[in-house]
A and B are shown apart, each in its own frame.
Chain A
Amino acid sequence: MSVTPAIELRGIVKRFPGVVANDDVNLTVLPGEVHAIVGENGAGKSTLMKILYGMQRPDEGEIKVNGAAVAFRSPKDAIAAGIGMVHQHFMLAGNLTVLENVILGAEPSRMGRLDLSEARWRIDLMGAQHHATLDADRLVDSLSVGEKQRVEILKVLYRGAKLLILDEPTGVLVPQEVEELFATLRELTAQGVTIVFISHKLHEVLAIADRVTVMRDGTTVTTVQAADVTAAQLAEYMVGSELPSPSTRTTQATEAVELAVEGLGVRGPGERWLVRDVSLQVRRGEIVGIAGVEGNGQAELVEALLGLRRPDTGTVSLGQRDITAWSTRRRREAGIGYVPEDRHARGLLLAAPVWENVMLGRQGAEPFARRGWLRLRAAKAFAAEVLRRFDVRAPDANVPAFALSGGNQQKLIMGREIMGEPQLLVAAHPTRGVDVGAQAAIWEEIRRARDAGLAVLLVSADLDEIIGLSDRLFVMFGGRLVAELDPDDVTPQVLGTHMTGGRQGAA
């Protein structure tokens, strides 16, 4: 025996209805390494992490931490064993300070009274050690995304974690912030902290990890040294075959303007402009992309386009008609398709069958309704067509939407919207959380619809997606469109610069 692994998983099996279960998962994480776990969405990464962090108990198999077998019943047990988790979605209280957030739930006390000085000292020390200096008294709401993530990391370290699980930590960061995160991680490993890094961004994985474990279909496929492998090889392990090469772009854009936005402004609470003076046009047969870090007004822009939010300034026109004052229903029936960024929250009636879900958005219009009466037969026929054409894996259209996997739910929404033959498709993060196969299929369908003359407004934080699909590309920052770029010769670095406010000068 050379080194005792920090974590050792042997033969983990987790049966979990509806999603890919973990089946014979084996993982060895050495102390002080950055160990990446890659795989498509739905390959079993999240289940594995939940098992590691005590949120779920495996049905079979063995977990060893520092050589000793453990059986976590809750995250509390995992924390006690020195395992900490930094979630993809931050779990911070915005109206508390950094200090208060870090100690929340593990408040140091002396004789029953809160002892902040002790905590402050420890946080400053940790910050200094890890080059993650943060003003402990700042409100978390005032921090940038990258800083918030650092608070999450501090929080976990404060609880004595020796092993950090980072779940898709770079998803919300711009390239510069990713660099900073990686510096912090290297600092941590130098001091003996072990990192488990979950991602599907292969270049990042190769940049930070010492070793990489690939998951596919719920099982661990292989573990390799990051230095010995290329991104293409990793991708092959992940999908089990060659990746499709990026398609060549042929612009079909016509002169007919389908969507025209003029000087659109949306004010949030407290007079703050969430969207400010946005003007853009989308023509028939083109995809206009809006890149940007989330929270820079994209969501509000989309809501204003759909009539879900009243703009404070400006106009929106569809074709020749000014639709600024129209209701959501009128807009949708006039031909605006909508792929919402959160399919569970906005896109589906999970408890309702697939054939009812395909009506959603056009339930008042032909062919689904006539004089206020639903036409179930039309809905069922349409649903069957969506399932077939968009390769939605479901036994038939009578199953409820919740029974479908995430990728298939997204394909269902995509199919419903595109086959509804809209004039304009507003798609927000259309492939978020879907596997590589479904992603390629969705991209292909968007392209095909574009080629057939559809006008598409694409909002995405996924740079591959936004660069790969867009015919024209805007960057949104602080509620404004700050740059228009040519997707053919833009680099992630240039894009990242604009996405953070053009700190290095506009192109």
Chain B
Amino acid sequence: MKARALIPGAVRVLAPVLAVAVALGVSALALLAIGESPVATFSAMLRYAARLDSVVSILNRAIPLFLSGLAVAVGFRTGLFNIGVEGQYRLAALVAAWAGALVVLPAGVHLVVVVAIGMAVGALWAGLAGLLKVWRGVHEVISTIMLNFVATGLAAYLLAEHFREQAVAGDLQIKTAELPASALMPTLNWALRALGLELRRGSHLQGFLLVCVLAGLGFWLLLSRTRFGFDLRASGLNPEAARASGVDQRRMVVATMLLSGAFAGLVGASQLVGFFHRYTIDFPQGLGFAGIAVALLGRNNPVGIALAALLFGFLDRSAQILDLEDVPKEITTIIQGVIILAVVIAGQIAWRVARRRQAVAVSEQVRRQEAAA
């Protein structure tokens, strides 16, 4: 148990907390500069966020951010930077939406099939970048960025030319057919009701929240309790040592990209079966890029990513009250931006401090042991 004291868990938490604090400070300065009171603004945001419908909204917003964060984090843990989650989840959502509307299946099974299709498409699209790296030595940062553009173009083409629902007269929206009810994720409103909480009509707590819990748990189990996870982390910590220990680096790159893409597919699926029920040209954008920030802030572990996703969900939601308060809601964008910058810098500093303190602690303890012996 003494060893626990040596691992400065505080330092692990310190970096993200510091980053958020710095971001709040900078935003406060920005608010002062435009003549607004930071205290009044922040407390208005907090008050608004504490309402039940806000809490539900924050949770709903955190769902895709969390999954996207996991997708990016898998890559980071292996030492790969998957910037292509964006393209992966959108293509996944489109194909899953189209395929899901084509088939007739029992409820539940249908849902699982649609989600699985999404994961498979995301995995394949990301796997492409993995194969390019293994076969041709193309850096995954380049290939995944490029594949984002390809995915966008491909999705637009497929939607417009092949997957489009034959429009009723007068309906100009380009979209896939709506998924039947058997493919939709039930809401968690019953759980709220059981707690004695009643939501406004039309507002739901998305059932994909449970999938997130499972995904987070699976992520943790896979990485810290399986041989595959050990290989993956070893590759991220020291690729040469991993190779010497028998890890096939090429296979690892492809496996990681497939896994990362599968999580990306979940991002798209969550929005599809939980909220939009079809793919339209208004399908949410930017979740893949947000996932990079969430993964960074969450330090690539599931609990951290969950907290980061909730924070970003909170900022998105509470920004809505700012218009009513006559404060530009872009202030939350500033907060998010500064958090990302600060977490990278603070992370480095905290890591160095932790390393140094730990080395000192260990050498002192060894010295004490030797003195005692």
Q: Which residues of A contact B (CB under 8 A)?
A: 17-19, 306, 308, 327-333, 338, 340, 345-352, 356, 359-364, 369, 372-374, 376, 393-400, 402-405
Which of B41-49, B172-180, B355-363 participates in binding chain A?
B355-363
Residues of A within 8 A of B362 (CB): 18, 394-395, 399, 403-404
Please provide the chain B residues from 194 to 243 with a CB less than 8 Å away from any CB of chain A in the complex. 224-231, 233-234, 237-238, 240-241, 243
List 27 interface pairs A-B (beta carbons < 8 Å), by A numbering.
A18-B360, A328-B245, A329-B247, A333-B246, A346-B240, A346-B243, A349-B233, A349-B237, A349-B238, A352-B233, A356-B230, A360-B234, A363-B230, A363-B234, A372-B228, A374-B226, A374-B227, A393-B369, A395-B2, A395-B365, A398-B4, A399-B358, A400-B358, A402-B355, A403-B362, A403-B363, A404-B362
Q: Which of A331, A346, A369, A403 has the most CB of B within 10 A?
A: A403
Question: Which of A348, A393, A405 contacts B238 (CB under 8 A)?
Answer: A348
Is the CB of B99 closer than 8 A to any CB of chain A?
no
**Across the interface, which residues of A come within 8 angstroms of B243, CB to CB?**
308, 328, 346
Q: Which residues of A contact B365 (CB under 8 A)?
A: 395
Name the distance in Å between A17's Cβ and chain B's nearest Cβ: 4
User: Chain A nearest CB: distance from B195 CB in Å?
Assistant: 36
Residues of B near A352 (CB, < 8 A) are 233-234, 237
Once the chains bind, are B227 and A350 in contact (CB under 8 Å)? no
Pick the contact of A393 from B229, B360, B366 — CB < 8 Å? B366
Interface residue from B7, B229, B234, B363 paired with A349 (Cβ < 8 Å): B234
Identify B244's interface contact among A306, A369, A402, A404, CB under 8 A: A306
Q: Do the beta carbons of A361 and B246 come within 8 Å of each other?
A: yes
Q: Cβ of B244: which chain A residues have Cβ within 8 Å of it?
A: 306, 308, 328, 338, 340, 346-347, 361
The smallest beta-carbon distance between A356 and chain B, in angstroms, is 7
Residue among B227, B229, B356, B361 with the highest chain A CB neighbour number at 10 A: B227
Query: Residue B359 contacts which of A308, A346, A361, A403 (CB distance < 8 angstroms)?
Result: A403
Q: Is residue B370 within 8 Å, beta carbon to beta carbon, of the partner chain?
A: yes
- B18 contacts the other chain (Cβ, under 8 Å)? no
Would A360 and B226 be within 8 Å (CB), given that A351-B237, A393-B370 are in contact? no
Contacts of B33 in A (CB 8 A): none
Residue of A nearest to B246 (CB): A329
For B6, list chain A residues within 8 Å (CB): 395, 398-399
Instruction: Tell me if B's interface is mostly helix, strand, loop or mixed.
Output: helix
Q: A373 CA to B226 CA in the complex, in Å? A: 4
- The 0/1 profile, CB within 8 Å of A marked 1, for residues 347-373 of chain B is 000000001111111110110011000
By a CB distance below 8 angstroms, the chain B residues around A349 are 233-234, 237-238, 241
In the complex, B40 has a CB within 8 A of chain A? no
A395-B362, A398-B7 as given contacts; A360 in contact with B248, CB under 8 Å: no
Of B3, B229, B245, which one neighbours A396 at CB under 8 angstroms?
B3
Chain B residue contacts of A17, Cβ below 8 A:
356-357, 359-360, 363
Q: How far is the CA of A331 from the CA of B245 in the complex (A)?
A: 10
For B224, what are the chain A residues with a Cβ–Cβ distance below 8 Å?
Answer: 374
List 7 extra interface pairs beyond A351-B237, A356-B230, A363-B227, CB under 8 A: A19-B363, A328-B247, A329-B247, A333-B246, A348-B238, A393-B370, A397-B3
User: What's the least CB distance linking A362 to chain B, in Å?
Assistant: 8
Known: A352-B233, A374-B230, A399-B6. A332 touches B246 (CB 8 A): yes
Provide the bound-state CA to CA distance between A120 and B228, in Å: 58
- By a CB distance below 8 angstroms, the chain B residues around A397 are 3
* Distance to closest chain A CB from B228 (angstroms): 7
Q: Which residues of B contact A340 (CB under 8 A)?
A: 241, 244
On B, residues with C-beta under 8 Å from A are 2-4, 6-7, 224-231, 233-234, 237-238, 240-241, 243-248, 355-363, 365-366, 369-370
> Sorted from nearest, which 3 A-B pairs have the closest CB atoms?
A329-B246, A18-B359, A398-B3
With A332-B246, A333-B246, A361-B246 known as contacts, the answer to whether A395 contacts B3 (CB < 8 A) is yes
CA distance in complex: A481, B229 (Å): 41
Contacts of A402 in B (CB 8 A): 355, 358-359
**Which of A332, A376, A404 is B245 in contact with, Cβ under 8 Å?**
A332
**In the assembly, what is the distance between CA of A501 and CA of B1, in Å?**
57
Q: Out of A306, A331, A346, A405, name the residue touching B363 (CB < 8 Å).
A: A405
CB distance from A309 to the nearest CB of B (A): 11
Contact of A373 (CB < 8 Å), options: B225, B237, B355: B225
- Please name the residue on chain B nearest to A359 by beta carbon: B230
Question: What is the bound-complex CA distance between A362 and B247, given in angstroms?
Answer: 10
CB distance from B221 to the nearest CB of A (A): 9
- In the bound complex, residues from chain A placing their C-beta under 8 Å from that of B247 are 328-329
Given contact pairs A345-B240, A393-B370, A361 touches B358 in the complex (Cβ within 8 A): no
- A361 partner residues in chain B, CB cutoff 8 A: 244-246
CB distance from A217 to the nearest CB of B (A): 11
CB distance from B254 to the nearest CB of A (A): 15
Contact B363 A360 (CB under 8 A): no
- Complex formed: what's the CA distance from A228 to B111 in Å? 88
Check if A363 sits within 8 Å of B245, measured CB to CB.
yes
CA distance A400 to B357 in the complex (A): 12
* Distance of A330 from chain B, by nearest CB (Å): 8
On chain B, the residues within 8 Å of A404 by CB distance are 362
Q: Which residues of B contact A329 (CB under 8 A)?
A: 245-248
Complex CA distance for A376 and B228, rounded to whole angstroms: 14
- Residues on A with beta carbons closer than 8 Å to the beta carbon of B2: 395-396
Cβ contact within 8 Å between B238 and A395: no
Distance of A16 Cα from B68 Cα, bound (Å): 41
Residue of A nearest to B7 (CB): A398
CA gap between A398 and B237 in the complex, in Å:
17
Interface centre among A17, A308, A350, A356 (most CB of B within 10 A): A17
| Cβ-defined contact, B356 with A346, below 8 A | no
Closest to A405 in B: B363
What A residues does B229 contact at CB under 8 A? 374
* CB-contact partner of A399 in B3, B225, B246, under 8 A: B3
Contact partners of B238 in chain A: CB under 8 A: 345-346, 348-350
Complex Cα gap A340–B244 (Å): 8
Interchain nearest-CB distance for B143 vs A (Å): 26
* Known contacts A374-B230, A395-B6, A346 near B246 by CB under 8 Å: no
Chain A proximity of B6: nearest CB distance (Å): 6
Least CB distance from B355 to A in Å reads 6
Q: How far is the CA of A397 from the CA of B225 in the complex (A)?
A: 17
A333 and B246 alpha carbons, distance in the complex (Å)? 9
CA distance A169 to B186 in the complex (A): 72
Q: How far is the CA of A18 from the CA of B4 in the complex (A)?
A: 18
Cα–Cα, bound, A347→B245 (Å) = 8
The CA-CA distance from A333 to B248 in the complex, in Å, is: 14
- Please determine whether A348 and B241 come into contact, CB atoms closer than 8 angstroms: yes
Nearest CB of B to A371, in Å: 9
CB distance from B281 to the nearest CB of A (A): 43
Given A18-B359, A349-B241, A373-B226, do A394 and B231 touch, yes or no (CB 8 Å)? no
Interface centre among A363, A364, A398 (most CB of B within 10 A): A363
**Residue from B240, B360, B369 in contact with A395 in the complex, judged by beta carbons closer than 8 Å:** B369
A18 to B359, CA, bound (A): 5
Which single residue of chain A is at the shortest CB-CB distance from B365?
Answer: A395
Which one of B7, B238, B246, B248 has the greatest number of beta carbons of chain A within 10 Å? Answer: B246
Residues of A contacting B366 in the complex (Cβ-Cβ under 8 angstroms): 393-395
Chain A minimum-CB-distance residue to B230: A363
Measured in the bound complex, the distance between the Cα atoms of B229 and A360 in whole Å is: 13
On whether A372 and B226 interact (CB within 8 A), knowing A347-B244, A364-B246, the answer reads yes
What residue in chain A is nearest B248 (Cβ atoms)? Answer: A327
> How far apart are the CA atoms of A349 and B226 in the complex, in Å?
17
Cβ–Cβ contact A372 & B227, under 8 A: yes
The residue of chain A having its C-beta at the shortest distance from the C-beta of B356 within the complex is A17
Residues of B within 8 A of A394 (CB): 362, 366
Contacts of B245 in A (CB 8 A): 328-329, 332, 360-363
CB distance from B353 to the nearest CB of A (A): 11
Cα-based distance from A506 to B370 in the complex (angstroms): 50
